[in-house]
Amino acid sequence: ASWEKQVRHSSTPRRLNGFSVLVTGAAGFVGSHCSLALKKRGDGVLGLDNFNDYYDPSLKRARQNLLSKHQIFIVDGDLNDAALLTKLFDVVPFTHILHLAAQAGVRYAMQNPQSYVRSNIAGFVNLLEVAKAANPQPAIVWASSSSVYGLNTENPFSERDRTDQPASLYAATKKAGEEIAHTYNHIYGLSLTGLRFFTVYGPWGRPDMAYFFFTKDILQGKSIDIYKTHNQKEVARDFTYIDDVVKGCLGALDTAEKSTGSGGKKKGPAQLRVYNLGNTSPVPVGRLVSILEGLLGTKAKKHVITMPRNGDVPYTHANVTLAYKDFGYKPTTDLASGLRKFVKWYVNYYGIESKPSKATQRADESS
């Protein structure tokens, strides 16, 4: 395979010192940022991604181009391809897996439920089967989600809170991932660390997320829906800036214990950990929109509606005490500063053409 040649001829994923990390979902939003950060600090990185078209594949290809400028190679393949994954482990003795590939998005689960089962359950199990059989077994850090808290009303959410009321199939598959991880840790001694990310945003973000399409729609003068809850409260999210999440992922990798088994045999207990990685300060969606209006210099056409029953939860809020205690996780970017960086990237990436103020200006000049 072409990737094999590339990988064999490059020293990148195989390191004498530092980690060798397989990053799944490396062409994705969080995966591309984490791959760059790992490479920058000297770890070996190899990516895996199937470049599916859930959202604009050209954005995934652009992230891939950015990574290839830093000598990070992404294998084009699927989590469910056991032969490919086994081959990857034959070529590179990975010390760690940072597993970020998944079918993300809560609302899309109503349109394509099977894609969640395929990637988040079957794909995860396939990866764990390959990791379990590898010798040495890699330590695994994987993305869970704040959505596992579902309709939980504790405030803020702590890792021990109930997670038995998922509001979407997405949340249910992420919760299933946590249960599946438990069994692989228990039986095979795999070291597993789950990270519950809270609505991550930033440059190179996901076009299916509200902050991203709100920016696009405001610039294009289209109206946006702002949800309020059934009891007329504002919907709020603990929006978390990408750089904070990247630091959390690296911290979790650094403190992951080694797996205790090898070649599928358990040798003793290894860790199973789950952490919240949030910002600790929920912001109502209306406030997100007013920050964007300020940054874009354009008023949004707001359409405030009662939240449809589409898998969304009314509120998220992380308690991150545990991640702070274990690997010093401390979010440092507030929503206004983070969105400023996102908007700067957005205008630069999509071009100034998308700014109606400039377009109008030009139209005025030529008339």
CA distance 159 to 279: 15
123 binds ligand NAD (CB under 6 A): yes
Q: Residue 103 interacts with ligand NAD (CB under 6 A)? A: yes
Q: Does 169 bind ligand NAD (CB under 6 A)?
A: no
Annotated active-site residue in 108, 116, 149, 170: 170
Contact assessment for residue 103 and residue 115, using Cβ atoms and an 8 Å cutoff: yes
Which H or E run includes 61? helix 57-69
Least spacing, CB of residue 164 vs ligand NAD, in Å: 19
Query: How far lies 36's CA from each of 73, 326, 350, in Å?
Result: 11, 23, 22
Residue 247 engages ligand NAD in binding (rule: CB under 6 A): no
Instruction: List the interface residues with ligand UGA, window 18-47 (CB under 6 A).
Output: none
> What b/e readout covers 270-302, taking b as 16+ CB neighbours within 10 angstroms?
bbbbbbbbbbbebbbbeebbebbeebbebebeb
Residue 170 appears among annotated catalytic residues = yes
Candidates 41-49, 127-135, 196-204, 347-355; binding stretch for ligand UGA (CB under 6 A): 196-204
Q: Is 21 strand, coil or helix?
A: strand
Name the binder of 25 from ligand UGA, ligand NAD, none, CB < 5-8 A by kind: ligand NAD
- Residues 80-99 binding ligand NAD (CB under 6 A) are 80
Phi-psi region of 225 (alpha: psi -120 to 50; beta: other; left: phi over 0): beta
Contact with ligand UGA (CB under 6 A) among 199, 215, 276, 319: 199
Binding segment toward ligand UGA, per CB under 6 A, in 29-37, 85-93, 103-111, 262-270: 103-111
Q: Which of 13, 31, 150, 202 binds ligand NAD (CB under 6 A)?
A: 31
Instruction: Return the closest-CA partner of residue 321 out of 159, 200, 147.
Output: 159
Closer to ligand UGA by Cβ: residue 81 or 208: 208
Q: Taking a C-beta distance cutoff of 8 angstroms, is the pair 227, 312 a contact?
A: yes
Concatenate the DSSP letters of all residues of 78-107 into one string: -TT-HHHHHHHHHH---SEEEE------SG
Cα–Cα distance for residue pair 147/108, rounded to 1 Å? 14
Please state, in angstroms and rounded to a whole number, the distance separating the CA atoms of residues 60 and 34: 14
In the set 20, 193, 199, 333, which binds ligand NAD (CB under 6 A)? 199
**Which residues contact ligand NAD (rule: CB under 6 A)?**
25, 27-31, 48-52, 60, 78-80, 100-104, 119, 123, 143, 145-146, 197, 199-200, 206
**Which residues contact ligand UGA (rule: CB under 6 A)?**
104-106, 145-147, 197-199, 209-210, 225-227, 235, 237, 285, 312
Q: Which residues are catalytic?
A: 170
